[in-house]
Structure 1
Amino acid sequence: MKKQPGLICILLLIAAISGKAQPATEIHLLTTFHLSGTGGWDYLAIQPGSDKLYVSHGTQVNIVNKTTGDSMGIIPGTIGVHGIAFVPNLNKGYTSNGRLNTLTVFDLQTARVFGQLPVGQNPDAIMYDEFSKHLIVCNGRSNSISIVDPENDKVVGTVDVGGKPEEAVTNGAGTLFVNIEDKSEIVVIDLKSQRVLHHWALTPGVAPTGLAIDNTTHRLFSACSDSRQLMVLDAGSGAIISKIPIGAGCDGVVFDKASNNIYASNGEGSITVVKQGDKDSYSKTGSIPTKKGARTIALDDTTHKLYLPTKDNNAFQVMVLGK
């Protein structure tokens, strides 16, 4: 059909309005929390069913109110801390202490430290799998996964993954997926048998860091920092479904199932926003400015706010973004 000039103008106007209405442009900086302490930072996490935000910070974990930023305590002695995990039914929390090769076990109500639990070398990302009732610890220097029973705080299994495990997610049914940063692959582990099932190549993705999963569409989202790509994989077969460009220095990715948005936090000072149209359709919808060094990210599933830690003028802070 031959388009008339007037019709073309109308179509262009509609397209421009639609472009401005993309979800990415609605997310903006809401507030900034200024935190005490010295040293670097890595992961941060929100305790389910509470107002507590836990932020790794060198030799301690800062606990702050997720809305106001007011201090709610610290967990001391977590030298080289990377991640935080929660086991609500046991009222226990855990930090992974990279320089101590231990987990710190603490009380979720009082933050009182129960003790230290030895794991592998340089424990990094940590998570609790509700299906197996076990903690999963990525040991960056010993190229392994520690499986911990929180009932008695004992390591009940160690799985060699053949490379540096950076982050892990589960499908909620007994299968674990692990980004292997130095091999540019995802290792698939059966948690019942504690056996490696597959090594899935991420080519052309290089140096996978952040990892998220959508257990409705069975899609994995692996942020590859060196190639600046978000790789989308079929969680059943390992087939690469899509690859989307992201910013430099990405170390975290989250999936918001309410909006079907994937957020990749880039150390260059941005968040790449990717929209999931359906299980096989993905598109970059925008880039949200943050601050340099804000490479990790946490999503509040209740409020849909995003939290990113960094330093600005040598002051440690957490940015809070939302609508």
Structure 2
Amino acid sequence: MKKSIAVLGFSMVCLGAFAQQKEEVAPKMFKVDAVQKINASIYQLVHNPVTKSVYVAGPKGGFRAETDQFVYVLDEATLAVKDSINIGKYTPFGMAINTRTQTLYVGHSIQQNISAVDLKTRKSTLIPSGREKSKIREIVVDEDRNLVYVSDHGDPSIWVVDGKTNKYLKTIAIPGAFPLGLNVDSRKGRIYVTDSGTMQGNVLVYDSKTNELVGKWKTWSYCPLNIALDLKKNRLFVSQSNDNNITVLDAGSGEIIDKVYLGYDASPIGLVYDEKSGLLFTANREKKEVAVIDTETYKVKERVPTEGLANTIVLDKNTGTVYVTNKSARKADDAIKKGDTVQKIVRI
């Protein structure tokens, strides 16, 4: 009888401890504050602190559609669509912005060119590379040098565009590679590009002044995608969609610092680092969420449900607000509640 009472008492203590443990779960830090449905198959987006707007690429009719195409302009606070920019019959996918010159760069994927849009006049300048096999993915801007870089996995290379004249300058050829993600550190004079063509999952590093290859860093995850930079602590964060992790690299040596695993079938695509908070945000497509990662502990602090296929993500550096695009399913029978939406995520 005493033994039964002791076991019962021990069980009650364990249950009490378990209940207490559950109560100590950290409260939610973030919430979805606004949602905007777009009548298009949305892709990348950028935030413009000058106009207090979010610009969203909204292609219609597929890759080769012969119809007018638009970039949608959303209010940063409410996400209400307040305008649109007609860019002709060139399908918009990748995007970047030079906030100093107020120039929006729009990639046209398999149409072998990009557009430079003057946001003050709405004048659009088409910038072809003259390379017939081009398939454009990522665009980044070096605002200090007023240069634009474009990753091209169809004709493996990085384009270099003069931001002053908006003319194609040269190509950094990457034979045999499959360049996808791209970023630039203007202070160190480095261009980083992911090569998804090998099982080693390389990040290629180029000198932005000489355009010479100065590093080839293995992430040991197949098909690395996007790159976010931590300029203060000299780190690279690389999304690994196939391996469901974020690989953290030392931006000086290329050594792997850590890998943050996001769970089975997470499929992280876009990511953005907030230097002020030390938090990394990742758009996890298959899990339909944005994960919030503490970059001191390399642990996931929170998962914010998006109810759509989270794809690309940007940050308002002044407020810490995050904006994410959610794609729809490719098959009509795979219902996605909030596909083709832009969401605003804020601190609670």
TM-score (norm 2): 0.81
Q: Name 1:295's counterpart in structure 2.
A: 311
1:96-115 matched pairs, under 5 angstroms: 96-110=107-121, 112-115=122-125
CA distance in 2: counterparts of 1:73 and 1:314, whole angstroms: 21
Q: Report the Cα offset of residue 275 of structure 1.
A: 0.3
1:158/1:223 Cα in 2 relative to 1: closer, same or farther (>3 Å)?
Answer: same
Q: Report the Cα offset of residue 148 of structure 1.
A: 0.6
Is 2:295 aligned against 1:276?
yes
- Answer whether contact 2:157 2:171 (CA < 8 A) is retained: yes
Name whichever of 251-260 and 10-19 sits farther off.
10-19
- Answer whether contact 1:95 1:103 (CA < 8 A) is retained: yes
CA distance in 1: counterparts of 2:24 and 2:144, whole angstroms: 41
- 5+ residue gaps in structure 2? 1-9, 60-68, 329-335
Give the aligned length. 308
CA RMSD of aligned residues (A): 2.5
- Answer whether contact 1:249 1:295 (CA < 8 A) is retained: no
1:87/1:288 Cα in 2 relative to 1: closer, same or farther (>3 Å)?
Answer: closer
Name whichever of 122-131 and 305-314 sits farther off.
305-314
Q: Name 2:178's counterpart in structure 1.
A: 164
Q: Name 2:211's counterpart in structure 1.
A: 194
Is 2:198 aligned against 1:175?
no
Counterpart amino acid of residue 254 in structure 1: V
- 5+ residue gaps in structure 1? none
1:140/1:129 Cα in 2 relative to 1: closer, same or farther (>3 Å)?
Answer: same
CA distance in 1: counterparts of 2:17 and 2:184, whole angstroms: 44
Q: Name 2:276's counterpart in structure 1.
A: 258
CA distance in 2: counterparts of 1:318 and 1:254, whole angstroms: 16
1:52/1:102 Cα in 2 relative to 1: closer, same or farther (>3 Å)?
Answer: same
- Answer whether contact 1:78 1:95 (CA < 8 A) is retained: no
1:6-45 matched pairs, under 5 angstroms: 19-21=25-27, 25-36=28-39, 38=40, 40-45=41-46
Q: Name 1:95's counterpart in structure 2.
A: 106
CA deviation profile, 1:237-274 (whole Å, cap 9, x unmatched): 00000001125222101111121111111111012221
CA deviation profile, 1:1-59 (whole Å, cap 9, x unmatched): xxxx9xx99998986666414xxx211111111223x3x33211012322111111114
Q: Report the Cα offset of residue 94 of structure 1.
A: 1.4
Q: Report the Cα offset of residue 315 of structure 1.
A: 6.3
CA distance in 2: counterparts of 1:130 and 1:251, whole angstroms: 24
TM-score (norm 1): 0.87
CA distance in 1: counterparts of 2:147 and 2:192, whole angstroms: 15
Name whichever of 191-200 and 167-176 sits farther off.
167-176
